[in-house]
Amino acid sequence: MGPIETAIKLKEELDTLRPISIEQELRIMQKFRLDWNYHSNNLEGNSLTYGETKALILFGLTAQGKPLKDHIEIEGHNEAIEWIIDVVKGEYPLTETFIRELHKLILKESYSVDAITPEGLPTKKKIEIGQYKTQPNHVLTNTGEIFRFASPEETPALMHDLMNWYHEKNDSANFNPILLAAEFHYKFIRIHPFDDGNGRTARILMNFILMQNNFPPVIIKTEEKRTYFSALRQADSGILEPFVNLIADNLVRSLEIMIRGARGESIEEPDDFDKELALLELKLTKTDQKAEKTIEILHSLYDTSVVPLITKFIEGGKKFEKFYVKSQHVVLSNGYASYNIEMAISTVKNNITLSTTEFEMSYSYNTFIHSQYGNFNFLSQVQVMLGPNTFIIKSNRRTTNLEKSYGEQLSESEIDEIVKHELKRHKDFIESKMRSK
């Protein structure tokens, strides 16, 4: 019996155990969600371990020494999965708009990455979320050849064709959901419609199709990375069977987990204990690394992390001044507030004591000059909260705060990410006001 037939047989067995109790279903889906977040992001180069991924999702703990961007990737991917789990319960159609909204959730924020030109030269390109690519996103293979995906000009028509193909298959009387999900995944990857995030988006869409048909999600594990990409390359040469079988094999594993869970049995896999041990080690390490703050430590933190953050924050915030009648930036600490940044930077440092609890920077904007969209205001704010052993960076409406021990400092890329988040939030706010009119 092949993996597709095995999966169908297991699905029939699972159906006899339904409905599954809410408690068991939540337990099963939490395992799938954690595995899915870790493995799908790790396949694309995310550096967070399974324990760090779990600590972030379940407890809001950030991993010391890991890039902020990697935390944001996990956060966005988890939000996308939670959205899929929610919408799959209803009759939510799979459309291009649905796919673009999903892509926005996964990537969260626009950013720049290294790329190559059609001629094979290195360059930089801006990754826009929820928008089809505007530049070629070909990749350099291990053999030095350039593998070419669909061009930006071809992409809208090819995505339209893909959706027509999907709906025709999905509406047919005897379609096979496993084949449909696997083929959709491959066809989507072959187009590579977005500048980045195509793999993560493809795997979520594949699972959306499976879950709409009452199958559990497929988790491509990071240790299967070579097999997975090799199967995709074989599909590029017209041999789709290895890829379909890989998907079906992993679906069998998910079905077996779900059946055990539905029966109230253990859903642990052989390596789950190692993952739990890694999480325990992470918690212990964070505890061991905590050092009590001293005046010297606070001065060092201020010079190496807070001042560069203030400078970057004010520099970025100035870009929005032209949109408002009045704007003002301020630095606050210990009850002291200054609108002169140069004076504030030196004065705040001179007033640092062990009772200092935070450094705060804010940029207020009053009365949007384009009054046809409304006379609204905006406040951008970042806080550095000082605890006994760690400091936490908080910015408006960010669901994950960055926590570090006093032995660490903010990297340049982390500062860039923090400021970029606030700038994007401001831009999105203005655009939402424009759309509402």
Q: What is the pLDDT of residues 100-122, one digit of tens each?
A: 999 999 998 887 777 666 666 77
* Of 373, 387, 388, nearest in space to 433 by CA: 373
The percentage of the chain sitting over the pLDDT mark of 70, rounded to a whole number, equals 90
According to the annotation, is 63 in a ligand binding site?
no
pLDDT at 91: 81
Smallest Cα–Cα separation from 408: which of 283, 268, 290? 290
pLDDT in tens, 25-60: 988 999 999 999 999 999 999 999 888 898 888 878
Q: How confident is the model at residue 388 (pLDDT cuts 50, 70, 90)?
A: confident
Q: Is 335 annotated as a binding residue?
A: no
Q: What is the pLDDT of residue 144?
A: 54
197 is in an annotated binding site: yes
Q: Is 46 annotated to bind ligand?
A: no
Distance, CA of 159 to CA of 122 (rounded, Å): 28
Active site residue 192: yes
Angstrom distances, CA of residue 287 to CA of 62, 197, 277, 298:
13, 34, 15, 19
Q: Confirm whether residue 226 is marked as ligand binding.
A: no
Residue 143 has pLDDT above 60, yes or no: no
Q: Is 203 annotated as a binding residue?
A: yes
The tokens for 183 are 């083929």
Residue 323 is classified by DSSP as: G
Answer yes or no: are the C-beta atoms of 66 and 48 closer than 8 Å: yes
CA 102 from centre of chain = 11
The H-or-E segment that residue 139 falls in is strand 139-140
Mean pLDDT of the chain: 87
Go through the domains of the chain in sequence order and give each one's CATH number.
3-287 (1.10.3290.10), 295-436 (no CATH)
Highest mean pLDDT range out of 7-16, 260-269, 342-351, 425-434?
Answer: 7-16
Q: Which of 185, 192, 329, 426 is labelled catalytic?
A: 192
On whether the CB atoms of residues 252 and 3 are closer than 8 A, the answer is yes
Contact 431, 119 (CB under 8 A): no
Whether the pTM exceeds 0.75: the reply is: no
Average pLDDT over residues 139-150: 66
**pLDDT of amino acid 213:** 95
435 known member of a binding site: no
In the block, residue with structure tokens 């590029």: 236
Residue 416 assigned to a binding site: no
